[in-house]
Amino acid sequence: MITLQHVYFLIGAMFLGFAILSLTDRTNPKRFGNAAVWGLVALSLTLGHEIGDFGNGLIVLGLAALATLGLLGKGTPEVNEEKRVAFGERYGDRLFLPMLIVLLTAVVGTLLFLYVPQLAALGLFAPNRETLILLCVGVLIAIGVLYLWLRPPALAPLQEGRRLMDAVGWAAVLPLMLAAFGVVLKDAGVGDLIGEFVGGIIPSGMIFPAVAAFGLGMALFTILTGNAFAAFPIMASAIAVPLLLQGHGGDPAVVGAIGMLAGFCGTLMTPMAANFNLVPASLLELKDRNAVIKAQIGTAVPMLAINILFIWIFAFPWHTN
């Protein structure tokens, strides 16, 4: 049976490749820092289940230290722009085929496992992990198609992946860390404290104030942590489960799905979501590092209000009809 750990092994092998290629890139003056960062990520993914929480905690501290000390840099690979343009003109939109292969493999494969019981009965994949595993399968198939079709150099996928990761820098691992951070805050009892505070100020039997507190809380904690996945376990344990689901019998699918969208509105408004908001500004060489955030606030605020309204309408239809 293929489990989530096999996915971690595959991704860890990719980061190990990035580390080795970074180490050999003499055009990058900070190549040892890059190699250390991607090597630590590879170590956590491949052996994290063996070294335990303390070992993974040390890896996180190491990554934070390397990023804080500015030990990551970018190389200057030689790029023949004329060949790249000619390549794009030759193949045009067909270059998106590998991306479609990845998406179709994940989506179609997941649907087959959901609606064809005979496939699920084979026990090929760990339960409830089919989509993540099939996503990796789709990537491997797409890479195989690329080799047969375009015949790139053997290390081209790793080299291009490393180039992209070097451009993103430390922000590449931020979503993973922040998602874990949300679970840590939940286990520390932050959600319970917030729930007691909100429950004490919201009048009993009032649904909309609880919905508004949940939506605003999702956005606010996303702004603070940079990731809606970090905010969700906190706000779910504080407000969504005790007040909206258990207290008022709301639809959990609506509360969960649209609640995440409310959190994503916070993502649009925070520099903590560096991979979404600061990295594009850096890649586009914008003078204002917060230009992306400023352009998105006008959309994020009304969308947050709409998401809160939608939770109230669709999660509690008997109340709003």
Structure confidence at residue 318 (pLDDT): 66
Q: What predicted TM-score, i.e. pTM, was given to this entire model?
A: 0.75
Neighbours of 312 (CB within 10 A): 22
Contact 189, 232 (CB under 8 A): no
Q: Tell me what pLDDT residue 321 has.
A: 47
Tell whether the torsion through CA atoms of 301, 306, 307 and 311 is positive or negative. positive
| 247-285: pLDDT as tens digits | 888 899 999 999 999 999 999 998 887 778 877 776 677
- Cα–Cα distances (Å) from 190 to 58, 86, 213, 219, 236, in that order, read 23, 55, 15, 16, 11
Q: What is the pLDDT of residue 179?
A: 67
Contacts of 23 (CB under 8 A, 6+ apart): 31, 32, 35
pLDDT classification of 172: cutoffs 50, 70, 90: confident
Collapsing DSSP to helix, strand or coil, 125 comes out as: strand
Rounded-to-integer distance, Cα 299 and Cα 89, Å: 35
Domain ranges of the chain: 4-172, 189-320
Question: For residue 78, what pLDDT is reported?
Answer: 63
The DSSP bridge partners found for residue 125 are 2
Task: Give residue 230's pLDDT.
Answer: 80
- How many Cβ atoms are within 10 Å of 3's Cβ, its own excluded? 13
Given a cut of 50, is residue 139 above it in pLDDT?
A: yes
- pLDDT category, 236, cuts 50, 70, 90? confident
User: How big is the chain by its Cα radius of gyration, in Å?
Assistant: 22
Average pLDDT, rounded, for the chain: 86
Encoded amino acid at 115, one letter: Y
Amino acid identity of residue 140, one-letter, is L
pLDDT score, position 204: 73
Burial grade of 60 (CB within 10 A; 0-12, 13-18, 19 or more)? middle
pLDDT at 1: 85
- Angle among Cα 239, 244, 249 to the nearest 5 degrees reads 155
Q: What is the pLDDT of residue 182?
A: 67
